[in-house]
Structure 1
């Protein structure tokens, strides 16, 4: 831009205020980045389609400080009751073995309406003084060397250092960039959806009626007295085309597949037709504009990974975009967003497609249902980035060792573990230590004490260092050895945790230099401890 330009530049503009955009906005705001978030809708939607966060997304929401609110507003996942010819034939709880564990505090997903989750995230964002700007539709992008001009439909414009399109599967931002969205649409996966009221059904179950020519599924919406999610195979007209969803159509489908009187269903709203899509953007970044969530990838609803993948996109991006937007990051750091998340999206598309095939096979038999879509892979807990240039292990070369040892490798999700405060003896969770917009350096054993002190002195503005059984009063103790076992630590070692709670670096106890090199390569010289980054 011209040197004489006096236009106010927003560090980051987010287009789209669904769960992905709101998660990113909250993460950037807590990094002290001035962020704006706009949405073309005139009002906040009351969409209930996404059924809630999985185990990994709950960890993200806990780090952002809202998991307790989500747990209070939602409900535990319900057992599934399957029917044939209108009669119950089987109950199944796909999460019955998924209890919390010391390394996984959220063993199960949470049922919560999407509008309720968005409301919680908006409230959290407002605590940082940021509010969604409604009725602001982005219609054009113009990129410059150091900024992006975004034209709005009402004639206004916003200039930002970076723009992130979190604006859904039909993303105007993606289309303005000319990014391809390759894949396919499966018309045979078409479903009609809506929020309805139903009388006389037990709200303790997710009811699923399947027969040879269709299905109806009803799941109670937490936080409502009589609200249900309605999903069904659509009626078709004489030409074989899906009939648009309506109260009358839903009543006919209920009578046909569930063998229940149609008039037990009332107040059908937020109606939509879902068509199965498997598509992925070929790039997540074009210059200063990035894509996240459904704007970057869509897939089968089997396994419930759509919203969750978007939330996790945002958590991966936030800590990288924050220093880039404030001029502190190496350029290559922002490139790792695509390097890490695009392969995850490709894998997720494959998992969702495979889970859909398994479910379609299962429902051909009495007792089959949507529980076939749920596996350990759909929890999100196994997602890691071992291939990433940010995954380093100086114990055996520059990247994670090929041999599988107990505990996480560089690039993996950092697990939780319970320790004790070395001074007070009070129980302390690793996730509480990690929580916040900072790197965390764990030093296991007394041999790490010098490296911990040096790292905190040099990088204290963006790093917190904790010794585990270093013999000093400050830090953590691991009297049961559970933390060491969880992290697979035998000899004393340093473990650097990224702000998105993935292991960035594992190094020998005396290799504090590797920590400094890692951080300097990504985010340069640290600000003074306690300093607020300039925006």
Structure 2
């Protein structure tokens, strides 16, 4: 029996696949579409997502092929009437190695993740649709198109806002679809526009957008967006891909039903404001992956506890940004301040915080223990000297958040209580 079936090969499903692959789990990732999707779609990668991609070994390619967001140039009557940025370009630091929002078309983000997955000997099974599943206490039996049936330990629905997995579970998707709030989104080529600016037509002072053209790095393509539009202005000379977007703001009523989990857009859909949706899905997968590898039931319960709270917060943020029309981006949208302070996994003064240090030492599927210790904790825990002024020991989870902060005498019980690791015998 394989460990996991991942349904959906967007950024969420691919992130989870890479995470499981590097841990040596046996899984399949299936995608009902016969071809990899086109379209820029989600294009903003937040600083916290870049930290995730650092750990997964893809951040260098993401940065090399992407770019920071260009300055905005606002037009009226053929004249430039305003120039500025969504946010100032920040310098990297030890605590924030990737401080800037990076523009990267979703198709390229997915390609980079697929290439990383291939390095572990796995690939997406295109044209493979999940058509049914049943679960019991021991596992999940999935039925794929053509009648193929296979048994898995767990199933993860990362199959988008119209998720078959969520529907088959009967999980509600509470929220609203605003049919009156539509946006035309397209990948286009445009006449005479430079690729160094994000060109906007409207009234910036009144936060009114007629349409915009955002250049996509490494291409001659612009992403065109126009609220309420059905036609393209004359400046657009070729349309490569287009879609009509309706504002959807919804969240699943449950993220876990037995051995089946929901992640990404299958669990929550956002307005595009603030660039939160894709990033939240990536971090769902990052939270879930190491817990699936451990396989402890109480630990797996913390996925829904932690990520439902985050999704609710981020939905509120993206909805507010949509309503205010604010283009400015700051710490609130970077997702660096998200934390799991109330989680059952969080112990001690710093429990649940993003650790925000020693990123090189964190890379890999292990826990990081900051302590002067003679106790052996096995291969799952990498030991590192404590930070200057540190009180007690700090155990950093594989996803970069502090799990335990306190006296070492309580650490073994913390680890074993969630089935996370079995400490080795103390060295003599």
Q: If the length of structure 1 is used for normalisation, what is the TM-score?
A: 0.76
| 2:183 is the counterpart of 1:205 | no
Conserved 8 A contact 2:392-2:408: no
Conserved 8 A contact 1:320-1:333: yes
Q: Distance in 1 between matches of 2:58 and 2:25?
A: 19
Which position in structure 2 is the counterpart of 1:371?
327
Q: Where in structure 2 are there 5+ consecutive unaligned residues?
A: none
Which position in structure 1 is the counterpart of 2:225?
231
Conserved 8 A contact 1:217-1:232: yes
Provide the secondary structure at the position in 2 that maps to 1:159. strand
Structure 1 residue 320, shift from structure 2 partner: 0.6
| 2:392 is the counterpart of 1:493 | yes
Provide the secondary structure at the position in 2 that maps to 1:523. coil
Aligned-residue Cα RMSD (Å) equals 1.8
Q: Distance in 1 between matches of 2:48 and 2:139?
A: 34
Q: Distance in 2 between matches of 1:159 and 1:384?
A: 35
- Find the partner of 1:78 among 62, 70, 79: 70
| 2:280 is the counterpart of 1:309 | yes
Structure 1 residue 88, shift from structure 2 partner: 1.9
| 2:391 is the counterpart of 1:463 | no
Conserved 8 A contact 1:297-1:345: yes
More strand by share: 2
Per-residue deviation, residues 328-351 of structure 1 (Å, max 9, x unmatched): x2x110000000000110011111
Structure 1 residue 467, shift from structure 2 partner: 1.1
- Find the partner of 1:439 among 349, 364, 367: 367
* Length, aligned pairs only: 422
Structure 1 residue 86, shift from structure 2 partner: 4.0
Per-residue deviation, residues 255-305 of structure 1 (Å, max 9, x unmatched): xxxxxxx1x423313211101111000100011110000000011111000
Provide the secondary structure at the position in 2 that maps to 1:58. helix
Task: Describe the shift of the 1:270–1:526 C-alpha distance in structure 2 as closer, same or farther (beyond 3 A).
Answer: farther
Provide the secondary structure at the position in 2 that maps to 1:453. coil
Structure 1 residue 150, shift from structure 2 partner: 1.3
- Find the partner of 2:342 among 379, 387, 402: 387
Conserved 8 A contact 1:462-1:527: no
Q: Distance in 2 between matches of 1:525 and 1:441?
A: 12
Structure 1 residue 94, shift from structure 2 partner: 2.4
Q: Distance in 2 between matches of 1:88 and 1:503?
A: 48
Q: Distance in 2 between matches of 1:266 and 1:85?
A: 20
Structure 1 residue 91, shift from structure 2 partner: 1.3
Task: Describe the shift of the 1:527–1:496 C-alpha distance in structure 2 as closer, same or farther (beyond 3 A).
Answer: closer
Per-residue deviation, residues 220-266 of structure 1 (Å, max 9, x unmatched): 11121x2111111234xxxxxxx4xxxxx21xxx2xxxxxxx1x423
Task: Describe the shift of the 1:188–1:99 C-alpha distance in structure 2 as closer, same or farther (beyond 3 A).
Answer: farther
- Find the partner of 1:515 among 401, 411, 423: 411
Conserved 8 A contact 2:263-2:281: yes
- Find the partner of 2:354 among 398, 405, 413: 413
Q: If the length of structure 2 is used for normalisation, what is the TM-score?
A: 0.95
Structure 1 residue 185, shift from structure 2 partner: 1.2
| 2:168 is the counterpart of 1:176 | yes
**Runs in 1 of length 4+ with deviation above 4 angstroms?**
211-214
Task: Describe the shift of the 1:124–1:527 C-alpha distance in structure 2 as closer, same or farther (beyond 3 A).
Answer: farther
- Find the partner of 1:526 among 407, 412, 422: 422
Q: Where in structure 1 are there 5+ consecutive unaligned residues?
A: 1-8, 236-242, 244-248, 255-261, 360-369, 394-399, 401-408, 417-429, 444-448, 469-482, 530-535
| 2:333 is the counterpart of 1:333 | no
Structure 1 residue 48, shift from structure 2 partner: 0.9
Which position in structure 2 is the counterpart of 1:126?
118
Structure 1 residue 524, shift from structure 2 partner: 5.2
Q: Distance in 2 between matches of 1:97 and 1:73?
A: 18
Per-residue deviation, residues 355-404 of structure 1 (Å, max 9, x unmatched): 11221xxxxxxxxxx623x23111010000001011101xxxxxx4xxxx
Structure 1 residue 72, shift from structure 2 partner: 0.8
Q: Distance in 1 between matches of 2:26 and 2:240?
A: 37
Structure 1 residue 153, shift from structure 2 partner: 2.4
Task: Describe the shift of the 1:527–1:167 C-alpha distance in structure 2 as closer, same or farther (beyond 3 A).
Answer: farther
Which position in structure 2 is the counterpart of 1:270?
241
Per-residue deviation, residues 176-209 of structure 1 (Å, max 9, x unmatched): 0000000011233210111111121111111111
Task: Describe the shift of the 1:526–1:229 C-alpha distance in structure 2 as closer, same or farther (beyond 3 A).
Answer: same
